[in-house]
């Protein structure tokens, strides 16, 4: 089930059922090995030219990594460490973040964009509960049995773009564990649809914490700024993709 429940009581019932299934799965991990029919997680074969002497990548508990050269920036956004922003002066003056938000350099523009570094380095998702580990993600999704909505294709405008519901394990195997540097033999791009992942897999919610910066109120309306949207906005930051 991936759609939104019809009522809050139904959502709670579904969450509880999934909690019980997750608990049963975790307990089964501590039992003696049995003749399980669940196949091991494998990576999609991407090239027949791979060296046979190379260790098989399907047993490495990490995602493939690749990088592309960053594009040239004409107007780079300033970067500052969260440690420097959280500094509280002894003389009673505003801390650097409050000063940035409420005492902008250009009052006609308001607070300018800012990249805050090192603000999430304590997240469990980056440490003891690593989202970079396929095996950890499988343990939090009933060994990958949870259903998720995915979108297939490079862009919405592509003629073969589509959507489907699949298991988390299938999504990892088919779209996440392929080596991006090897030939994909026509393999399409697949990614999680715009979906509230934490509503779908609530066990992952405790792996992150929203920084206090996200709850701050921006500077008052400035002449050069656009008028705010009239749509209803949430009282807390969105965690949807």
HEC string of 171-187 equals HHHHHHCCCCCCCCCCC
Q: What is the pLDDT of residue 229?
A: 55
In a domain, 226, yes or no: no
Question: Alpha-carbon distance 25 to 28, whole Å?
Answer: 5
Lowest mean pLDDT among 29-33, 49-53, 122-126: 49-53
Q: What is the pLDDT of residue 65?
A: 76
151/200 same-domain check: yes
Q: What is the pTM of this model?
A: 0.69
Percent of the chain with pLDDT over 90: 20
State the average pLDDT over residues 28-53.
52
Q: What is the pLDDT of residue 225?
A: 56
Q: What is the pLDDT of residue 53?
A: 35
Smallest CA-to-CA distance from 119 within 228, 16, 223, 214 is with 214
In this model, does residue 48 exceed pLDDT 60? no
197/144 same-domain check: yes
Please name every residue paired with 199 in a beta bridge, in sequence order, or none if there are none.
none
Two tokens, residue 101 = 């938000």
115/128 same-domain check: no
101/169 same-domain check: no
134/115 same-domain check: no
The structural domain count of the chain equals 2
179/131 same-domain check: yes
Two tokens, residue 88 = 């509280």
pLDDT in tens, 181-205: 665 556 778 888 877 788 778 889 9
Confidence band for 54, pLDDT divided at 50, 70 and 90: very low
In a domain, 160, yes or no: yes
State the average pLDDT over residues 6-18.
78
188/202 same-domain check: yes
Higher pLDDT, 185 or 122: 122
Smallest CA-to-CA distance from 144 within 27, 241, 38 is with 38
Domain, as residue range, for 90:
79-119
Higher pLDDT, 169 or 107: 169
Higher pLDDT, 153 or 216: 153
In a domain, 67, yes or no: no
In a domain, 153, yes or no: yes
In a domain, 158, yes or no: yes
105/156 same-domain check: no
Higher pLDDT, 121 or 47: 121
Percent of the chain with pLDDT over 70: 71
State the average pLDDT over residues 196-220.
82
Q: What is the pLDDT of residue 105?
A: 83
């Amino acid at each position: 089930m991936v759609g939104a429940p019809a009522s809050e009581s139904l959502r709670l019932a579904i969450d509880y059922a999934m909690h019980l299934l997750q608990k049963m799965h975790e307990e089964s991990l501590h039992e003696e090995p049995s003749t399980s029919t669940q196949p091991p997680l494998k990576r999609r074969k991407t090239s027949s030219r791979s060296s046979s002497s190379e260790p098989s990548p399907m047993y490495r508990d990490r995602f493939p990594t690749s990088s592309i050269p960053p594009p040239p920036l004409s107007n780079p956004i300033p970067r500052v460490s969260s440690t420097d922003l959280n500094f509280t002066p002894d003389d009673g003056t505003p801390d650097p973040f409050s000063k940035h938000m409420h005492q902008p350099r250009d009052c006609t523009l308001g607070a300018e964009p800012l990249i805050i570094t090192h603000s999430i380095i304590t997240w469990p998702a980056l440490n003891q509960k690593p989202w970079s580990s396929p095996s950890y993600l499988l343990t939090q999704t009933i060994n990958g049995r949870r259903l998720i909505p995915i979108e297939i294709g490079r862009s919405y405008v592509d003629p073969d773009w589509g959507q489907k519901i699949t298991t988390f394990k299938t999504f990892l195997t088919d779209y996440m564990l392929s080596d991006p540097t090897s030939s994909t033999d026509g393999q399409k791009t697949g990614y999680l649809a715009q979906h509230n992942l934490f509503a779908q897999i609530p066990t992952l919610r405790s792996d992150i914490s929203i920084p206090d910066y996200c709850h701050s109120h921006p500077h008052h309306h400035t002449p050069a700024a656009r008028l705010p949207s009239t749509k209803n906005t949430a009282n807390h930051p969105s965690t949807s993709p």
